[in-house]
């Protein structure tokens, strides 16, 4: 029992959110380096050419032979057991990216110091807000020309509407990025070497009162730091643990993942400040991770991970109880008991069977087509359902028609199954049913995947016609008849596969019109929120 409690307490399950190129992969690699999971950082970057085909981590995995599923990367650091959840970015950006955040207990937001908050970071941040999870900010690339740190904090607050608290402060930037100042211990960490990021950075540490740092940092930077630190103490928001826990205040760290400067101070603070696995809302109230009844929910389904096997893997996050290989659990939505016989993790190219796992961990199980996103698995003696995972508003839309209308059945089956996995969302015009199908995706790549999968798995050829719509919103009051609404002529009335009514707009202006003209109408960016 003591072991069980300790295993949970030492777990940290988080996702890294960022805009492409801000440095998520580099930072992840450096966390592995500091965790001792790899001995030397390096060439992961060199092999970026066909990056969109495989996740960045699959690359790391192949090169280093570390245990990585395509969904989670697990490693030890001091006494912590860390699970970093992969949030696919770049061309892979899709609903999976959002859903992964449903399985995280906190998020690390990586921001490029010269670019500030970018589009994809904003989108992912919104999902973190929805979950009210703690968000830790790592301002990266301080070894290059950077915005003024005070300006950066203001910018984050203005763009994201979150308060900031600088945990440390950069000393210089660009070629003159000399170190960071840790505000809690009033300690200077001056960087040397770091072997261009191949090895852990070498540092000299000491107090702000210690005048030897005047010569280490140089007069100018030393004086500047003293000034900045006084200003920070006067001007900054108060440190407030409760606000951090609710995601209202983000602790901010400065550093450079490439040179390793500031990576270790970030990691050690972050791991101590962030949370071990959190309770999760369910139909019977909150489920406590320390509850010994097993429970988990499915947050991602991945098809055809292995071409030779043509299978699907359902990834689930364990929320309570110890998982043991072969255990029998209740699949609540299907009302059936199933045996979790072959839970998988991936070691290099081969699948590795997981013997045991704890709350906070993610396991992948073979899915013969029975799982859907959000499904609950639990101990049959204590049955409940976890709160549903929201459906995220897609931003790309296409009309799908079949080339060969004789294959109606396969088409319907294929498109429904692919939608069930959560790869795309399927909408129908309210009065026409399956006759006209509109698909929506968070990323455009999803349409290519749909076309190719319908062809190869269901032998159905389709024609895709990209539509100029940009936003979809669910109607909050589902008893409201969409025909009675006063809408612009280019707004479409649709329903999703669950029969929920929603509206498809050309742009934000259409949304504004709709809510202004129809006082009883309220709209939501997330579906499935009951
Ligand atoms: P991702 O797309 O967010 O995963 O970003 P990557 O980690 O792939 O980094 C994008 C590019 O920025 C790569 O060329 C990295 O070498 C570079 N990069 C990452 N971190 C830093 C940093 O701290 N300083 C500098 N100068 N470059 C960095």
Residue with tokens 């009951």: 530
Long-range contacts of 428-432 (CB under 8 A, 24+ apart): 428/494, 428/495, 429/492, 429/493, 429/494, 430/482, 430/483, 430/493, 430/494, 430/495, 430/501
346 and 231 in a common domain: no
Distance 428 CA to ligand 1 centre (A): 42
Q: What is the pLDDT of residue 47?
A: 35
285 and 267 in a common domain: no
Distance 359 CA to ligand 1 centre (A): 32
165 and 42 in a common domain: yes
**Does the pLDDT value for residue 27 go beyond 60?**
yes
Domain that holds residue 449: 396-524
400 and 352 in a common domain: no
List the CATH number of the domain containing 352: 2.40.30.10
Handedness of CA 397, 419, 526, 152 (dihedral sign): negative
Q: What is the pLDDT of residue 232?
A: 94
Which residue has the CA at smallest separation from atom 6 of ligand 1?
A: 23
pLDDT digits (tens, 9 = 90+) for 417-474: 888 878 899 999 887 655 679 999 988 888 888 898 898 888 999 999 999 999 999 9
pLDDT digits (tens, 9 = 90+) for 118-135: 999 999 999 999 999 999
| Cβ atoms of 477 and 133 closer than 8 Å | no
Q: Is 268 helix (H, G, I), strand (E, B) or coil?
A: helix
pTM over 0.90: no
- Maximum Cα interatomic distance, the chain, rounded to a whole number of Å: 83
Tokens of 70: 């395509």
Which residue of 26, 89, 143 sits with most ligand 1 atoms within 8 Å of its CB, as the best mutation to test the pocket? 26
339 and 253 in a common domain: no
Q: Is the CB of 26 under 6 A from ligand 1?
A: yes
Instruction: Report the range of poorest mean pLDDT among 44-53, 71-80, 288-297, 375-384.
Output: 44-53
Atom of ligand 1 nearest to the CA of 255: 23
233 and 170 in a common domain: yes
d(CA 122, CA 380): 40
Q: Which helix (H) or strand (E) holds 279?
A: none
Domain stops at, among 273, 304, 319: 273
Tokens of 305: 């991970």
Distance 22 CA to ligand 1 centre (A): 6
Which residue of 22, 23, 41 sits with most ligand 1 atoms within 8 Å of its CB, as the best mutation to test the pocket? 23
Number of domains in the chain: 3
Cα 301 to Cα 96, 157, 182, 312, 368: the distances in Å are 9, 35, 42, 7, 11
- In sequence order, what are the residues at sequence separation of 6 or more whose Cβ sits closer than 8 angstroms to the Cβ of residue 100? 15, 71, 85, 86, 87, 88, 299, 300
**Does the pLDDT value for residue 253 go beyond 80?**
yes
Q: Which residues are annotated as a binding site?
A: 18-25, 86-90, 140-143
- Which has more confidence, 13 or 37? 13
| Cβ atoms of 509 and 469 closer than 8 Å | no
Instruction: Report the range of poorest mean pLDDT among 12-16, 109-113, 396-400, 454-458.
Output: 454-458
Assigned domain for 479 exists: yes
**Does the pLDDT value for residue 501 go beyond 90?**
yes
Q: Is the CB of 21 under 6 A from ligand 1?
A: yes
Distance 112 CA to ligand 1 centre (A): 9
Domain stops at, among 238, 255, 273: 273
| Cβ atoms of 344 and 352 closer than 8 Å | yes
- CB burial of residue 209 (10 Å; 0-12, 13-18, 19+): exposed
348-373 average pLDDT score:
77
Assigned domain for 64 exists: no
d(CA 475, CA 523): 5
256 and 114 in a common domain: yes
Q: What is the pLDDT of residue 457?
A: 85
Q: What is the pLDDT of residue 45?
A: 36
Assigned domain for 34 exists: yes
Atom of ligand 1 nearest to the CA of 19: 3
Atom of ligand 1 nearest to the CA of 22: 3
pLDDT digits (tens, 9 = 90+) for 201-216: 788 999 988 889 998 9
Assigned domain for 71 exists: no
Distance 20 CA to ligand 1 centre (A): 9
Q: Report ipTM for this prediction.
A: 0.99
Assigned domain for 142 exists: yes
119-131 and 149-160 are packed helices; what angle lies between their axes, rounded to 10 degrees?
A: 60
**Does the pLDDT value for residue 368 go beyond 90?**
no
Q: Is the CB of 141 under 6 A from ligand 1?
A: yes
Please state, rounded to an integer, the average pLDDT across all residues of the chain.
86
The pLDDT-based confidence of 352 (bands split at 50, 70, 90) is low
d(CA 277, CA 288): 9
245 and 344 in a common domain: no
313 and 232 in a common domain: no
pLDDT digits (tens, 9 = 90+) for 85-118: 988 776 667 788 889 999 999 999 999 999 999 9
List the CATH number of the domain containing 128: 3.40.50.300
For the chain, the distance separating the N- and C-terminal CA atoms, rounded to the nearest angstrom, is 35
The pLDDT-based confidence of 342 (bands split at 50, 70, 90) is low
């Amino acid at each position: 029992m003591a072991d069980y409690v300790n295993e949970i307490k030492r777990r940290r399950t988080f996702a890294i959110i960022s805009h492409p190129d801000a440095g998520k992969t580099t930072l992840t690699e450096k966390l592995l380096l500091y965790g001792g999971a790899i001995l030397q950082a390096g060439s992961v970057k060199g092999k970026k050419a066909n990056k969109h085909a495989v996740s960045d981590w699959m690359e790391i995995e192949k090169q280093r032979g570390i245990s990585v599923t395509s969904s989670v990367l697990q490693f030890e650091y001091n006494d912590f057991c860390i699970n970093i959840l992969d949030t696919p970015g770049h061309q892979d950006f899709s609903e999976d990216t959002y859903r992964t955040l449903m399985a995280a207990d906190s998020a690390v937001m990586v921001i490029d110091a010269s670019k500030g908050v970018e589009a994809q970071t904003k989108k992912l941040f919104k999902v973190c807000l929805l979950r009210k999870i703690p968000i830790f900010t790592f301002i990266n690339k301080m070894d290059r020309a950077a915005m003024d740190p005070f300006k950066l904090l203001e910018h984050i607050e203005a763009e994201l509407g979150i308060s900031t608290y600088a945990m440390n402060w950069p000393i210089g930037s660009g070629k003159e990025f000399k170190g960071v100042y840790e505000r809690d211990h009033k300690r200077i960490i001056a960087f040397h070497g770091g072997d261009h990021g191949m090895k852990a950075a070498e540092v000299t540490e000491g107090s702000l009162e210690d005048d030897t740092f005047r010569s280490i940092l140089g007069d100018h930077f030393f004086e500047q730091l003293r000034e900045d630190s006084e200003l920070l103490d006067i001007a900054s928001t108060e440190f407030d643990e409760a606000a951090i826990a609710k995601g209202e205040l983000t602790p901010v760290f400065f550093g450079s993942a490439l040179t390793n400067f500031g990576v270790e101070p970030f990691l050690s603070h972050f791991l101590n400040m962030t949370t071990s696995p959190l309770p999760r809302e369910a139909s019977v109230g909150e489920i406590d991770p320390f509850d010994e009844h097993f429970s988990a929910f499915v947050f991602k389904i991945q098809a055809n991970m292995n071409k030779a096997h043509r299978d699907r893997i359902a990834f689930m996050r364990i929320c309570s109880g110890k998982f043991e290989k072969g255990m029998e659990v209740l699949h609540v939505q299907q009302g059936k008991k199933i045996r979790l016989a072959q839970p998988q993790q991936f070691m290099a190219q081969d699948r590795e069977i997981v013997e045991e796992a704890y709350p906070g961990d993610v396991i992948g199980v073979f899915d013969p087509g029975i799982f859907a996103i959000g499904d609950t698995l639990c101990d049959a003696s204590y049955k409940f359902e976890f709160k549903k995972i929201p459906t995220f508003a897609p931003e790309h839309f296409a009309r799908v028609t079949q080339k060969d209308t004789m294959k109606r059945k396969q088409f319907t089956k294929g498109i429904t199954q692919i939608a069930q996995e959560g790869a795309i969302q399927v909408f129908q015009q309210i009065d026409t049913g399956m006759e006209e199908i509109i698909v929506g995706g968070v990323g455009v790549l999803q349409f290519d995947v749909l076309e190719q999968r319908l062809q190869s798995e269901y032998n159905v050829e389709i024609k895709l016609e990209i539509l100029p719509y940009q936003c979809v919103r669910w109607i909050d009051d589902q008893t409201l008849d969409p025909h009675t609404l006063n809408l612009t002529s280019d707004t479409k009335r649709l329903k999703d596969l669950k029969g929920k009514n929603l509206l498809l707009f050309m742009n934000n202006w259409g949304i504004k019109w709709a809510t202004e003209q129809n006082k009883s109408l309220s709209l939501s960016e997330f579906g499935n929120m009951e």
